[in-house]
């Protein structure tokens, strides 16, 4: 997502717009936030105060002291009571948006937890986030981590399209196992540049194909590239895999080379269960346990060395490579009947140093985008050189990468 962002209260009398990018996003477990949200915690999304514009209505305000003792001006709808944002006295340049009031919340991903010492006992804190027992005196780490993650996920669709032949090959292998009649309705989750989704649309001339992805860059590219005049049965939408809101609409939900980016697979599976018709099928191929171990090993060596180590403070691996045993439990909990579930070794190849560098540049942004742009190509080149020292090119000049695919074929009864 990119600015502007719109939101409003529950009764829709107040509407606002944010005309700049957020500074960070975190969860607060203080007692005041628990009361304010009538829940176990609240979320805050700091933005520049000048960037917040009220489009409709006039919110009311009241003053309170925060748990840390500082003054806070709280703004809310006088009709429905929805809390919209806070203006902290300690910083007159910041407004803390209550991000649940945004029109689109699918992209929200907090980078930290505050006041963990007063968190409800049943709340499970993600240890990979920035966690603070109370109010941090300095928010710099929260700002930097959020900006780093936002930059990491700024996909380059054109570059991805040039370096995703393996993904298309694997997708066609998965599709070949299906007995498609040509009239099915298909949801492609994590459609990326739309190449695979369009391939489905051609194979299903009497059907309907919808591609969804959380990246606005990818969706814009796919929509431009695969025009509805040539693919009348194809459409795209910017939707997060964890927030599928379709109901009894599809015969097949398909996802290829995507879900290893997603932290909450249970939410994905529950959304798929709602989206599928009875007798519908889920086909998934994504990175599984043991995937890209050599790549990750080289990255771990590189980021621990100079001059790169200073760029990777508080860095955590954002990939989620799950086992078939874990997935079997989640599928059963979501009501699926498993027909095939396995970890499948794959040999990915790239054409020489340039091909390997292109793949690293395109798909390993959580690592590469921690490095300033003027140093990035040197970082990628250092990775490629180190990798090929350990796993040299073969006699045909190909670079090999050991991958492991988690492949799922499950039926909704």
Domain identity same for 105 and 221: no
Domain identity same for 66 and 176: no
Domain identity same for 166 and 142: no
Radius of gyration of the chain (CA): 23
**Pairing of the two strands 185-189 and 208-213:** parallel
Give the pLDDT score at 68.
60
- pLDDT tens-place string over residues 184-240: 999 999 998 899 999 999 999 999 999 999 888 889 899 999 977 789 999 999 888
For 385, the enclosing helix (H) or strand (E) is helix 373-390
| 409 bridge partner residues | 283, 340
Determine the angle formed by the axes of helices 293-303 and 373-390, rounding to 10 degrees: 130
Stretch 304-325: mean pLDDT? 85
Domain identity same for 124 and 59: yes
Q: End of a domain among 109, 135, 152?
A: 152
Buried residues in 97-106 as b, exposed as e (16+ CB within 10 A): bbbbbbeeeb
Domain identity same for 63 and 191: no
CATH number for the domain harbouring residue 105: 3.90.1590.10
Rounded Cα distance, 52 and 59, in Å: 13
Domain identity same for 288 and 402: yes
Q: Is the pLDDT of residue 334 over 80?
A: yes
Give the pLDDT score at 177.
76
* Collapsed DSSP state (helix, strand, coil) of residue 384: helix
Range of the domain at 223: 157-411
Q: End of a domain among 137, 152, 167?
A: 152
Domain identity same for 222 and 245: yes
Q: End of a domain among 134, 152, 170?
A: 152
Rounded Cα distance, 89 and 74, in Å: 11
- pLDDT tens-place string over residues 103-119: 988 788 899 999 999 99
Give me the DSSP letters along 168-192.
HHHHHHHHHTS---S--EEEEET-T
Q: What percent of the chain has pLDDT over 90?
A: 65
Rounded Cα distance, 325 and 288, in Å: 11
Q: Is the pLDDT of residue 393 over 90?
A: yes
Torsion of CA 319, 323, 324, 325, to 10 degrees: -140
Average the pLDDT over each of 25-34, 58-67, 233-242, 344-353 and give the range with the smallest value. Answer: 58-67
Full-model pTM: 0.66
Binned at pLDDT 50, 70 and 90, residue 178 comes out as: confident
- pLDDT tens-place string over residues 42-76: 999 999 888 899 999 999 999 887 666 678 899 99
Domain identity same for 227 and 260: yes
Q: Is the pLDDT of residue 161 over 90?
A: no
Q: Is the pLDDT of residue 158 over 80?
A: no
Rounded Cα distance, 331 and 342, in Å: 13
Residue 132 burial class via C-beta count within 10 angstroms: exposed 0-12, middle 13-18, buried 19 and up: buried
Stretch 267-285: mean pLDDT? 96
Domain identity same for 210 and 348: yes
How far, CA to CA in Å, does 175 sit from each of 117, 274, 282, 353, 394?
49, 22, 11, 31, 30
Stretch 355-367: mean pLDDT? 91
């Amino acid at each position: 997502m990119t600015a502007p962002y719109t939101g409003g209260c529950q009764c829709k009398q107040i509407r606002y717009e944010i005309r700049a990018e957020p500074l960070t996003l975190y969860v607060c477990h203080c007692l005041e936030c628990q009361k304010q949200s009538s829940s176990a915690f609240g979320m805050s999304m700091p933005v520049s105060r000048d960037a917040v514009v009220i489009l409709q209505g006039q919110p009311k305000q009241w003053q309170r002291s925060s748990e840390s003792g500082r003054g806070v001006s709280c703004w809310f709808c006088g009709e429905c009571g929805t809390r919209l944002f806070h203006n902290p006295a300690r910083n007159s340049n910041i407004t803390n948006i209550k991000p649940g009031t945004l029109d689109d919340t699918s992209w929200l991903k907090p980078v930290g937890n505050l006041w963990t010492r007063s968190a409800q006992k049943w709340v499970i804190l993600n240890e990979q986030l920035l966690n603070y027992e109370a109010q941090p005196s300095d928010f710099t780490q929260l700002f930097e981590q959020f900006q780093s993650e936002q930059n990491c996920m700024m996909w380059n669709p054109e570059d991805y399209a040039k370096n995703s032949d393996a993904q298309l090959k694997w997708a066609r292998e998965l599709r070949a196992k299906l007995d498609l009649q040509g009239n099915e309705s298909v949801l492609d989750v994590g459609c990326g540049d739309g190449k695979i989704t369009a391939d489905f649309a051609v194979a299903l001339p009497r059907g309907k194909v919808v591609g969804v992805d959380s990246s606005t860059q990818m969706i814009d590219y796919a929509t431009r590239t695969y025009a509805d005049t040539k693919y009348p049965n194809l459409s795209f939408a910017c939707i997060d895999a964890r927030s599928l809101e379709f109901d009894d609409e599809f015969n097949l939900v398909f996802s290829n080379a995507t879900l290893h980016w997603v932290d909450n697979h249970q939410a994905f599976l529950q959304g798929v269960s709602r989206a599928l018709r009875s007798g519908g099928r889920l086909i998934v191929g994504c990175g599984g346990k043991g995937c890209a171990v050599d790549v990750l090993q080289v990255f771990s060596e590189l980021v621990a060395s100079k001059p790169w180590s200073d760029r990777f403070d508080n860095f955590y691996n954002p990939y989620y490579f799950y086992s078939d045993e874990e997935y079997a439990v989640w599928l059963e909990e979501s009501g699926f009947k498993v027909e095939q579930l396995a970890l499948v070794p794959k040999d990915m190849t790239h054409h020489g140093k340039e091909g390997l560098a292109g793949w690293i540049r395109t798909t390993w942004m959580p690592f590469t985008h921690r490095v300033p742009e003027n140093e990035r190509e040197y970082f990628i080149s250092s990775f490629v050189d180190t990798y090929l020292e350990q796993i040299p090119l073969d006699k045909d000049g190909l670079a090999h990468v050991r991958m492991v695919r988690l492949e799922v074929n499950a039926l909704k009864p």
